Amino acid sequence: MVRVTGDSFVINYLIDNPKQNQQTLVYCVKAPCFDESIQLEIFSWHIPKLVEYLYDDISYIWAQLDFGIFPRSGFYDFVMFNLFDHGKEAVYKVLDIGTKHQVLKEAAMGKKPVLSVRSVKGRMVVQPPKIRDLSLHEVIIDSLTPD
């Protein structure tokens, strides 16, 4: 995601996480130091606000973290984990709200469903406030194929 300094800094994800693991959910955020004269990055751990979300009698968790606004331009990386005594474990986001319901139906019929899952992580690119007045071109690297 591309944002501008001063935009709201909110991370929201719908996740499928067992209730017994809800107390162990944390976001790890890597952000530029708020003092512009220092070029170091800061790592911080945060506990998200959790709200239960029901869909067709299946429970999901809405994990939200609100930091206010982006104070400085730079790269803001985040990842969500379950922290346990034996280490950390990735948390996976819900790609399609109906997927879990369909998988349960197929499993009941004896079919082996194939799921693609993605962990909760991302990067927000924060630009200076006047960047929208410039003429910039974004090239999406993943969509280019080598010759």
Give yes or no for a contact between 46 and 120, defined as CB atoms under 8 angstroms apart.
no
**22 within domain boundaries:** yes
- Rounded CA-CA distance 81/67 in Å is 18
pTM, two decimal places:
0.68
Q: Mean pLDDT throughout 89-98? A: 71
- Rounded CA-CA distance 112/114 in Å is 7
**136 within domain boundaries:** no
Identify the helix (H) or strand (E) that includes residue 61.
Answer: strand 58-69
**32 within domain boundaries:** yes
**143 within domain boundaries:** no
**135 within domain boundaries:** no
CATH assignment of the domain containing 14:
2.60.40
Q: For the chain, what percent of residues have pLDDT higher than 70? A: 72
**141 within domain boundaries:** no
- The range of the structural domain enclosing residue 118 comes to 2-130
User: Structurally, how many domains does the chain consist of?
Assistant: 1
**147 within domain boundaries:** no
- What pLDDT score was predicted for residue 77? 92
What's the chain's average pLDDT?
78
- Rounded CA-CA distance 62/16 in Å is 9
> What does the chain come to in residues?
147
Instruction: Give the model confidence (pLDDT) of 45-83 as tens digits.
Output: 888 898 887 777 777 788 888 888 888 888 999 998 888
Q: For the chain, what percent of residues have pLDDT higher than 90? A: 3
Query: Which has more pLDDT, 22 or 9?
Result: 9
**26 within domain boundaries:** yes
